Structure 1
Amino acid sequence: MKIMCVAGLILGICVAGAAQAQDASPAALAENALAQFKTAHEKLEKAEIATDRVKALTGVIQAYEDGLEAMRSGLREAALREAEINRKFQDESGQVATLLAVLINLKPDASPAALVHPTGPLGHARAGMLVSSITPAMQEQAEILRAQLQEVSILRELQNEALDVLEAGLKDVQSARTDLSQAMSNRTDLPRRFVADAERVQELINGSDTLEAFASSLAVMDVVDGTSTLPDLDTAKGRWPLPSRGRILRRFDETDAAGVQRPGWLLATRPLSLVTSPWPATIRYQGAFLDYGNVIILEPGNDVLIVLAGLDEVYGDVGSVIPAGSAVGLMSGTSPDLDAFVTNATQGTGAGLSETLYIEVREGGKPVDPAQWFANEQ
């Protein structure tokens, strides 16, 4: 009876292990990350000779950001899967050892004395039947263990390959960020709607004690339109992508832990994340403002402003018209080294969404819920 209980338990573990061994999601995630990094690297090589270098480098950084997210997921899931398999090995090794001990204790005695004894032949037959019934389960167990060992081997190979690709990728994306900043400084091909009145803007800054007051004043500030026009905003509502990858911490007019309400969204992002314009827009202001860090204010249409605050770097010239998806700045922070990235990814800690971008949309000089304009909240 004890043998059958142990055999049944092992068989149950084998079936469960087989089902999980067929789940290749960690390996698939790792392979997907490698593919995204290769795509990003190809884009980087093409950016060297691209006519529109700014657009090309923006695409490179976004591709690397996608690859880094996929790499985080892949490394994390691979580490979890390997730990799960190791735990199964430890659990099953004890159960197999127990089973073998029982088999040894019940090994049939084929001596003449055992056969002559009244219960000898019956015990001999029963032991033979038990061994015969358990053998297939043991064979299946061996096959499952072999498959799990092979899965661990594949995961480790993918992890090793990922480390090589990741090391190059972290260097490439940092280089691309630097190149983008330089390319933005050298850019002269954008159309302009007006020439900035620096003195007038400074007067507005000096007379504003809040970002809301400054944005309201800027909204009604007269500008001399040039020849460039902006796309109609009638179809824009509910279609804008978020300006950066991240997760919303605070929503429109939501009170934070300090009891402060803000008429916009607070978006948590990773360090050095790229920030882009969600729609073709005129740059109305860019630069530092009070304690908000660097701020950029975009005008996608008449009486509509997008306020982005908390950036470390801002790009573009006031008065110029930028296409949708154009880089307008970078978040602050430092790039992780290889060891820190791997440790944080596998443990699911550190280097998370540590930076915050404030997003405000204003219509007619008044703030409105950004949910009316942005397609995705996460």
Structure 2
Amino acid sequence: MISLRALLAGLALSLASGAVQAQTAAPTPAEAARAAADQLEAAARTLDGAEEARDRVRALTETLRAYEAGLSAMRDGLRRASMREREIRRELEASDAETAQLLGVLLTVATSPPPAQMVHPDGPLGTARSGMILADVAPALNKKAQALRAKLQEASDLRALQQSAADQLARGMDGVQQARAELSKAIADRTALPKRFTEDPIKTALLIASTETLSAFASGLSDIAENEAPGSLPDVVHRKGRIPMPVQGALLRRAGEADAAGITRPGIVLATRPGAIVTSPTAATIRYRGPLLDYGNVMLLEPQAGVLFVLAGLDVVYGSAGEVLQAGAPVGLMGGQDPDIGAILTQSAGGTGSDRTETLYLEVRQGNTPEDPAEWFAGLDAGKEDGEQ
């Protein structure tokens, strides 16, 4: 049997540890999940407002971004909630004996008649000492009981939150699918964008047929353009390192890093979710869009003369060669199928698995020489990301 003094020491240590953790605590998993639900609700309101927006393409692009951010936050919140629930369960199971002893002490104190509590075999001095010890023990026991009650309540809240998440996820998935469909329609209905040149389809086909490398294709781009306007878009070189990413994703492979087949490329690979929207990082001219070599669907953007952003691996591409895009304009969607709600909840509950099943290849060329995208885009110089973005 643990002595009363040892029990008090353990309680004091536990309370002190909890105080330190409270000082450094981040938002709780439940708070994160509720914030994500608020993000999805805000995205739904944005989608409703996009119908009346003057620039529906821009409004729907922002809506898709909002939905993607909300769904990402919801998945992360559910994962953290599940992990926290398992942590609480383990803590409670590991302290079964201590909890039982705590409950026993509380029940003993609560059920002992007042005269028995006041009488001690050692006489008045013992009674006084017992009273002093009880006065010290009671607050600590009460705090311990409150901590136990709080853990049980937190575990119950987390379980209820996870059970109610299915409806929120379903609404979010429906919203993002609706936004994608409306965006494609809005792009088809929009008036023609300004053009810097007209593409010659015959010359383009010949260039593709005779090209064996991306470098060779890039060097021949000027030959397929007709009636090109003189000049260039504003300089973007001074923004190196601060240009936003074209897609919400995680860095999967750095420039020059070999893939599973041992192949190295001068660009980076980003892991994205199915159907993720891809946007132009800056104002840019579409130099080419369509299939190319073994890159899949490719979008070549020219933010200024002599600089190319290569985006490869898209499923759907928007626009046509020669069009001038604003910064943040949609250029396409990633492929893949959205997972069903059951799969999302299972992955979140297990704390494993990745929903980033698609990959976007991003390359930067200046003067037809590849440069490390980490030098151009924000957030790529701090190492690989392994969490939700």
Contact residue 309 and residue 359 of structure 1 kept, 8 A: yes
Quote the residue 1:4 is aligned against.
Answer: 5
What number of residue pairs does the alignment pair up? 370
Q: TM-score, normalised by structure 1?
A: 0.86
Q: Deviations over 1:160-212 (max 9, x none)?
A: 55433221111110111122122223333311111111110000000012333
Quote the residue 2:67 is aligned against.
Answer: 64
Distance 1:237 1:228 in 2: 21
* CA deviation after TM superposition for structure 1 residue 46, in Å: 0.8
Change (3 A) 1:334 1:244: same
- Aligned to 1:306, the other structure's residue is in SS state strand
Change (3 A) 1:18 1:93: farther
Q: Deviations over 1:59-100 (max 9, x none)?
A: 111001111121122112222222222223333332132456
Quote the residue 1:329 is aligned against.
Answer: 332
Contact residue 336 and residue 351 of structure 1 kept, 8 A: no
Distance 2:49 2:311 in 1: 30
2:351 counterpart of 1:348: yes
* CA deviation after TM superposition for structure 1 residue 222, in Å: 4.6
2:327 counterpart of 1:315: no
Quote the residue 2:186 is aligned against.
Answer: 183
Distance 2:148 2:333 in 1: 48
Of 111, 132, 137, the residue aligned with 1:134 is 137
Question: In the TM superposition, what are the counterparts of 1:116-131 in structure 2 within 5 Å?
Answer: 131=134
Distance 1:128 1:368 in 2: 77
Quote the residue 1:13 is aligned against.
Answer: 14
Contact residue 102 and residue 141 of structure 2 kept, 8 A: no
**Aligned amino acid, residue 290 of structure 1:** L
**Aligned amino acid, residue 147 of structure 1:** A
Quote the residue 2:214 is aligned against.
Answer: 211
2:30 counterpart of 1:37: no
Change (3 A) 1:373 1:221: farther
* CA deviation after TM superposition for structure 1 residue 122, in Å: 8.3
Q: Deviations over 1:322-360 (max 9, x none)?
A: 111111111111112222112222333234322111111
- Aligned to 1:275, the other structure's residue is in SS state strand
Contact residue 242 and residue 374 of structure 1 kept, 8 A: yes
Distance 1:194 1:222 in 2: 6
Distance 2:286 2:155 in 1: 52
**Aligned amino acid, residue 235 of structure 1:** H
Contact residue 271 and residue 360 of structure 2 kept, 8 A: yes
Over aligned residues, Cα RMSD in angstroms? 3.0
Distance 1:266 1:219 in 2: 27
Question: In the TM superposition, what are the counterparts of 1:138-149 in structure 2 within 5 Å?
Answer: 138-149=141-152
Contact residue 331 and residue 355 of structure 1 kept, 8 A: yes
Quote the residue 1:174 is aligned against.
Answer: 177
Q: Percent identity?
A: 49
Distance 1:339 1:163 in 2: 8
**Aligned amino acid, residue 25 of structure 1:** T
Question: In the TM superposition, what are the counterparts of 1:264-343 in structure 2 within 5 Å?
Answer: 264-343=267-346
Structure 1 spans left out of the alignment, 5+ residues: none
Structure 2 spans left out of the alignment, 5+ residues: none
Deviates more, 1:277-286 or 1:89-98: 89-98
Distance 2:74 2:129 in 1: 55
Distance 1:197 1:220 in 2: 9
2:29 counterpart of 1:26: yes
Change (3 A) 1:210 1:234: closer
Quote the residue 1:241 is aligned against.
Answer: 244
